[in-house]
């Protein structure tokens, strides 16, 4: 049987270059060789955003549009909305019976977010169970390969442990899923921290040329390089980090900067050109797609049908295994 790929993202707003280089470029590659399921994890969004659900649906359409903009082909991959496939919730319930509480309480992302996120009350049962729902997503499609960002690793480790425990209890042989990361799992934001919407340091997919210019002009460079002839220290330079991504000859630029034959303004202008060239087709495509709600809904409808078929098959099998 063809190996399956499954991944998802919470529909929490526009996607940026961190998503693109950290996750989506793998999604795009995998669709040529595998049966790929990509879902908008709206129930996962609900675990933290339960108090205000008004944006979740709209965000799902936006995220589907952004995936297509990034190169996901809805004719090849199955794009769907988690909450439209009710079997996720049934399998979540079943897996929650065999998941020890301690595994969830010790999960590093859980502990970190409980400590860091202060503007939402995360003392809810659903948030603790977040990785169990994620395990259900994976097992429901018997997915082998899970292309994710680094921040999801501890959830994937739990998914493996839960699958193993299921296999031990019921004598089954479900595959333990394997994560894959891109070459550039961590993209720096405009301010040198990790690119993240909540830090307000992102370059979004489909950004206009003017905004790109503005954002690059305001990027930090090495504070010790003031004049062109000052030797640059590229380790402290955000602009250099972007050159590394967009220019395979970035080492030439590194040399020029270090020996003092290029200044920061010129270097920024070169980056602006590359960024605009990279972004232009995405921006055009995004403009067309984002207003075509009917098309996006059609994509989801097709995805729903296909995902339901696979989910039904797995649940039938699980009912038999559990003697229900
Ligand atoms: N938790 C993931 C995130 O926030 C989204 C997600 C939900 C997911 N279910 C999944 C990713 C299953 C991979 C596999 O990014």
Q: Does the beta carbon of 11 sit less than 6 angstroms from any atom of ligand 1?
A: no
Same domain, 157 and 117: yes
pTM for the structure as a whole: 0.95
Q: CATH number of the domain at 274, please.
A: 1.10.240.10
Same domain, 238 and 97: no
pLDDT at res. 2: 76
Q: Which of 50-59, 106-115, 248-257 has the lowest mean pLDDT?
A: 248-257
Instruction: Determine, yes or no, domain membership for 193.
Output: no
Same domain, 260 and 172: no
Instruction: Determine, yes or no, domain membership for 200.
Output: no
* Domain around 273: 206-286
When pLDDT is averaged across residues 128-141 and rounded to a whole number, the result is: 98
Same domain, 140 and 23: yes
pLDDT tops 70 at residue 303: yes
Q: Does the beta carbon of 41 sit less than 6 angstroms from any atom of ligand 1?
A: yes
* % of the chain beyond a pLDDT of 90: 92
State the distance from the centre of ligand 1 to the C-alpha of 134, rounded, in angstroms: 6
The 10 Å Cβ neighbour count of residue 295 is: 16
pLDDT at res. 135: 98
Same domain, 174 and 306: yes
- pLDDT tens-digit profile of 199-216? 999 999 999 999 999 999
Q: Work out how many domains the chain is built from and give that number.
A: 2
Q: Does the beta carbon of 232 sit less than 6 angstroms from any atom of ligand 1?
A: no
pLDDT tops 90 at residue 76: yes
Same domain, 225 and 281: yes
pLDDT tops 70 at residue 22: yes
Same domain, 164 and 84: yes
pLDDT tops 80 at residue 24: yes
Same domain, 180 and 277: no
The ligand 1 atom nearest the CA atom of 143: 14
DSSP string computed for 17-78: HHHIIIIIHHHHHHTTTSEEEEEE-HHHHHHHHTT--TTHHHHHHHHHHHHHHHT--TTTSE
State the distance from the centre of ligand 1 to the C-alpha of 225, rounded, in angstroms: 41
Testing ligand 1's pocket by substitution, the residue of 82, 144, 150, 155 carrying the most ligand atoms inside 8 A of its CB is: 155
H or E segment and range at residue 79:
strand 78-81
Same domain, 160 and 210: no
pLDDT tops 70 at residue 109: yes
Categorize the per-residue pLDDT at 106 as very low, low, confident or very high, splitting at 50, 70 and 90: very high
- pLDDT tens-digit profile of 162-191? 999 999 999 999 999 999 999 998 899 999
Instruction: Determine, yes or no, domain membership for 64.
Output: yes
CB 159 within 8 A of CB 132: no
Q: CATH number of the domain at 62, please.
A: 3.40.50.620
Same domain, 123 and 242: no
pLDDT tops 80 at residue 84: yes
pLDDT tops 70 at residue 1: no
């Amino acid at each position: 049987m063809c190996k399956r790929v499954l991944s998802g993202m919470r529909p929490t707003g526009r996607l940026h270059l961190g998503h693109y280089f950290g996750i989506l470029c793998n999604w795009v590659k995998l669709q040529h060789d595998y049966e790929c399921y990509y879902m908008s994890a709206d129930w996962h969004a609900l675990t933290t955003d339960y108090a205000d659900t008004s944006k979740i649906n709209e965000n799902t359409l936006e995220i589907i549009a952004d995936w297509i903009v990034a190169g996901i082909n809805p004719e090849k991959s199955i794009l769907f909305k988690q909450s439209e496939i009710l079997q996720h919730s049934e399998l979540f319930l079943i897996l929650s019976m065999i998941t020890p509480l301690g595994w969830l309480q010790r999960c590093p992302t859980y502990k970190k977010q409980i400590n860091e996120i202060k503007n939402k009350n995360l003392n809810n049962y659903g948030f603790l169970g977040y990785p169990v729902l994620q395990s259900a997503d994976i097992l429901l499609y018997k997915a082998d390969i899970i292309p994710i960002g680094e921040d999801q690793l501890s959830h994937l480790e739990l998914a493996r442990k839960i699958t193993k425990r299921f296999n031990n209890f019921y004598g089954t042989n479900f595959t333990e899923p394997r994560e894959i990361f891109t070459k550039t799992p961590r993209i720096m934001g405009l301010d040198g921290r990790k690119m993240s919407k909540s830090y307000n340091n992102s370059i979004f997919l489909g950004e206009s040329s003017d905004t790109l210019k503005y954002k690059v002009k305001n990027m930090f460079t090495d504070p010790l390089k003031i004049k062109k002839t000052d030797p640059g220290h590229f380790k402290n330079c955000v602009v250099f980090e972007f050159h590394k991504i967009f220019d395979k000859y970035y080492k030439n630029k590194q040399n020029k900067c270090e020996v003092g034959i290029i200044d920061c303004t010129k270097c920024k202008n070169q980056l602006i050109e590359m960024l605009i060239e990279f972004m232009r087709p995405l921006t055009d495509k995004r403009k067309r797609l984002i207003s075509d709600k009917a098309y996006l809904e059609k994509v989801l409808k097709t995805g729903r049908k296909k995902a339901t078929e696979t989910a039904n098959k797995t649940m039938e099998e699980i009912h038999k295994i559990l003697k229900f």
